[in-house]
Structures are given as C-alpha cells and as structure tokens.
Structure 1
Amino acid sequence: MKIGVMPASFRVPFKEAVIKARDMGAKGLQPYVTGGELAPENLTKDDRKAILKYVTDNGLVFSALCADFGLNFRAYGENEEGIKRTMAMMDLAVDLGTNVITTHIGHVPEDENSIEYINVCKTIETLGKYGDSIGVCFATETGPEKAIKLRGILEKVDTKSAKVNLDPANFVMLCGQDPVEAVHILKDYIVHTHAKDGVMLGQIGEGRYQELPLGTGGVPYIEYLAALRDEGFEGFLTIERECGETPEKDIQLAYDFLTDALKKLY
C-alpha cells in the first residue's frame, strides 16, 4: 500500500501542497477538481499537461480526483448538468494520469423500490458506463450507508466501473460500521481509500461526530490495514484532514503513523 495526501488538507495553494507532500515522503495526491485552478473548465489541454508534469517531476502521481460537489443522485432525469460536469472531471482524470474519481452519493432510501433509490442506481450506472468507455472508475465514498447496503447498490448497476473509495472514519462517525468488516464486504469494489479518524458522538443517525488525528479515534487501524492487505489491496491510503488548527502537523503525524503501521504488516 502507498501513502497519499489530499492537497487541500494543507490549506495552501496546489503547487505549495505538492512540495509539502513530496518533502513528507507521500507518493500520491488526490485534489478537489470541483472549482478553482484545477476545475476542468479552467484548464486547457496544455494546462493539464503542465500540471501532470509538475506533479510527476516532483516524484508524485495523482491517486484519484475528488469530484464531490453535491450532485443530487436521487434526481435522475433532472441532474443532467451535474452528470455532464462529473463526466468532465472523469475526462480530466484521464489527462492527469489517474483512473479514479471519487464522490459522495448522499443518503440512499431503504426502500429498494422507491423512485429515489432507483434514481441513485441510474445515476451511478450512467457515470459508471461512461467510465467503462474511457477507463475511469467512478468510486462512491463510504459515508452514511453500511457496507452491505452499499454493496447491494453496486451489485444492481450494469457497469464494471462503479467502485468504492473506502473512508473508514466515515463508517465509524456516521453509521457505526466496523471498518474491518466493511473491507471484507466491499473487497471487490475498493479502488482507493482515505486515511482519516474520528468518533461518533451520540447515536447512529444523529449526525454528530468528531474528526480526530489519525490513530486517536475509533478506527482500529492495525486491524483495518491488515484486512486491506489480506484482501489484496495495494492502492493508496490518502490522508485527509478536514479540521484542526495545525493541519500540516496532523498530516505529518498521520504519515508517520501509517508508515509505522505498514512496516509492522509487511
């Protein structure tokens, strides 16, 4: 497994974040491409080549792109513009040398016969089929849905490119899902992961949680990483730090924690 970083977590401009990630020893980057300097609509072909060269010249690759801008997956038939925007980000992934984009699909109803549940599946399938045609995985980030429910959704869609970006902290913080169990349930779909930690505050469904520095929350990281290893995952553990007053320090601590943990597993 390799360690990556979300450049936005450094809270500095992209090129500065690349240098910080390089100096830390990270091997990959997953930037947001939903706005600003890395949004598809703001990049010419030459811009894309220059960005890729800058990243690779610094010894890094793009592990994935984050395409999370709030697309309403439950409104299939009314979300065409959002689907087109996501497809543009998938095209950008090709230009930047990665084959994964990730996003949240939002809460999915329990009733599999409801129009909203069916619409979620249709939206995923539409994006997945586009991914089939260009070689890019559309990876759903884990969140409010338990692993078995998410797997059920992915099994229903007619595409090979609908995959999973596994965020173990989201499972712990939002729905009380054991991340180790989740790895085994979702093993056939995991193409990218986030390295984050946290705890749930209150009861499942209340939406109260706290993100914490890696190794200090509710994710059993040694067992979780062992499960990924045992299932043959060799991709990225991409550090994401969404809060805290000392992001660079927290990212370095996360990198050191993961480095030590991986040494114990291999």
Structure 2
Amino acid sequence: MLQIKVAIELASLKARGGSPQLSFAQALHTAARLGAEAVEIDGRNEVSVADLSRTGVRQVRKMLEDLNLRVSALSFRTRRGYADVNELDRRIDATKRALQLAYELGTNVVVNHIGRIPTEEDANGLSTLRTALADIGREGHRVGALLAAETGTESGADLLKLIDSLPPGSLGVDFNPANLITHGFDPREAAQKLGAHVLHVHATDGTRDVAAGRGIEVPLGRGSAEFPEILGALEEHQYRGYLTIRRTESSNPLEEIAAAVKYLRAL
C-alpha cells in the first residue's frame, strides 16, 4: 500500500479577500498545526534562490526542524518555458541555483512549468527545449536534486515522449491532477503513463465546466480526480514521495486545506 505522506504548499495558506497575509514563519506553524509532515516552499517569493545565504539556509532548516517539518519540494516557477530563447541562459542558470538550494533545504525536487512542448514540425524549438533540459538535468545529478515538470499543458503521453528523448534521469514529473483536468486530459491515464517518472504529487482536484467550455479547480475530493485510482497507478511504480495540497483559488483556504488533509488521511 502507498504510504500517505501529506504536505502543504505554503503559498496556498495565504489569506484571500484582503485579509492579512501570513508570514513565512506563521505559514510554517499553520502547516504543522493542520497536520502536515512537510511543506512546499516557493523559491521566488518565500525564500530567495538568488540571495539566500548559508546562514539563511540554516535558519530555515532550524525553523523546519523545530516544527518537525520537512520540505516536499521547492517550487521555482519561471515566467517562460525552456523552449523560449528569450533570456534562456539566465533562466537555466537560475534553475540550476534552485536545484542547489533545494538540496540544501533537504529536498531533491524543484517544481516548474517547462512551457509548452513544441511540435515535431518546430525542430528548432524542440531542440532548444531538449538541450536546456539536458543541461539542467546534468546539474541536477551533480547537486542531488532534479527538475520536475508540472503536468497540465500536454497529455501524459506527450510529456513521456519528451522525457524519453532526454538522457536518462534528466527530467522528472510533478503530477498535478487539477491541471490535467482543466486542460482536458485524463489524470488516471497520465498517471499510468508517467508513473515511473513522478517525483512529486500535487493533491489537487478539478472539473470541466461543460457550459463554459473550460476547466476549473475545485476543493480536493469534489472534482473528477479519482485519487484512489491515481495513487494505485503510482503505487505500481513504488512512488514514495509526498502528496502536497495546493489550492490556488479559495476564499477560505485554511478550512479547505484542513479538509484536504482529512481527505488524504482517509484514503
């Protein structure tokens, strides 16, 4: 049976509707109080990949240890993907620094959107993406952390095709069911395709609004993400990572995240 290890994305704990925002320390305490075993940290807005000193790393680790928390992943979401040549070298270098920081904080996963995968007809774009990811992958092996591509904009089959075209172990997967659903893909099918490469799972849910012709994120357990089946597919590939609760749009995030923790514990 898959061991359920629950984490919470700290950014999801931020209050909505004009209420005061939680500080980093307050968010850590809240995550611990809600029953999380780990947290996902934002490497752009909560800690600085570019500026966090060794002393700063030690301080963050001490805060985590005092609350008996670990880091499930470091998110480092760039504005553009790795097929976009605009400032690409700068983006690659920043991602490499994120990999180093992730390892120093105690995780081996950095989450980012890699951007849309170019079609075979766009040979230059596809080559640019592959070269960038292979470069990042080599650095990941050197420092002890890997980039995990967040699912959503492509089917599981298309993302798997890209992974298989790279040197082994260059790129992992951050499995986000809500992203897949809102883009019209089946998360269960994607889990079966990508299971061997999943490094991190976002516990999210979504549904398709047929009338509006679009997908929407909903509280965990209220959409069409069949988590027992998804987790069953991941168990076949011995997934041992965290299920990190993420809720990007909510007027009452604390209540919804508390309910999500209970939902996952009951699986």
Task: State the TM-score, normalized to the length of structure 1.
Answer: 0.91
The residue that corresponds to 1:264 in the other structure is none
CA distance in 2, matches of 1:230, 1:157: 23
Q: Which has the higher contact order (CA 8 A, sep 6+)?
A: 2
Q: Is the 8 A contact 1:34 1:67 kept in 2?
A: yes
Gaps of 5+ in 1: 262-266
2:5 matched to which residue of 1?
2
Correspondence for 1:89 = 98
Distance 2:121 2:157 in 1: 14
C-alpha distance in 1 between matches for 2:88 and 2:235: 38
Once structures 1 and 2 are overlaid, which stretch shifts more, 158-167 or 123-132?
158-167
Deviation at 1:33? Answer: 0.7
Give a deviation string over 1:44-76, Cα, whole Å, max 9, x none: 101111101111220110011001122331134
| Seq. identity, % | 29
| Kept in 2: contact 1:22–1:60 (CA 8 A) | yes
Structure 1 Cα separation of the partners of residues 70 and 7 of structure 2: 9
Cα distance in 1 for residues equivalent to 2:86 and 2:260: 42
Aligned to 1:139: 148
Instruction: State the 1:218 CA deviation.
Output: 1.5
| Matched residue, 1:100 | 109
User: For each residue in 1:138-171, what CA deviation from the matched residue of structure 2 results, as whole angstroms up to 9, or x when unmatched?
Assistant: 1101011000110110111124241101111111
* Deviation (angstroms), 1:110: 2.4
Give the match's secondary structure for 2:42.
coil
Which residue, out of 18, 22, 27, partners 2:37? 27
Equivalent position amino acid for 2:185 in 1: Q
1:239 aligns with 2:239: no
What's 2:265 paired with? Answer: 259
1:209 aligns with 2:218: no
Structure 2: how far apart are the matches of 1:252 and 1:179? Answer: 24
Q: For residue 17 of structure 2, what is the aligned residue in structure 1? A: none
Does the 8 A contact of 2:50 with 2:94 survive in 1? no
CA distance in 2, matches of 1:230, 1:94: 27
8 Å Cα contact 2:8-2:40 kept in structure 1: yes
Q: Aligned residue pairs: how many? A: 257
Q: CA deviation at 1:41?
A: 2.4
Q: Distance in 1 between matches of 2:177 and 2:81?
A: 23
> Following the alignment from structure 2 to structure 1, what is the Cα–Cα distance between the partners of residues 57 and 226?
38
Matches of 2:42 and 2:6, distance apart in 1:
17
Matched, 1:17 2:27: yes
- After the TM superposition, which residues 103-122 of structure 1 pair with which residues of structure 2 at under 5 Å, given as runs? 103-111=112-120, 114-122=123-131
8 Å Cα contact 1:76-1:120 kept in structure 2? no
Could you say which residue in structure 2 is the equivalent of 1:190? 198
When you count helix as a share of all residues, which structure comes out higher?
1
Aligned-partner Cα distance in 1 for 2:79–2:168: 22
Structure 1 position 185, deviation (Å): 0.8
Q: Which amino acid aligns with 1:150?
A: L
Structure 1: distance between partners of 2:49 and 2:185: 35
Residues 68-91 of structure 1: CA deviation (Å, up to 9, x unaligned):
122331134841011111111111
Structure 1 contact 73–120 (Cα < 8 Å) conserved? yes
Task: Provide the aligned C-alpha RMSD in A.
Answer: 1.8
Distance 1:64 1:159 in 2: 21
The Cα shift of 1:10 comes to 0.5
Q: Whole-Å Cα distance in 1 between the matches of residues 134 and 87 of structure 2? A: 15
**Secondary structure of the structure 2 residue equivalent to 1:191:** strand
Shift of 1:95: 1.2
Equivalent pair of 1:30/1:64 in contact (CA under 8 Å): yes
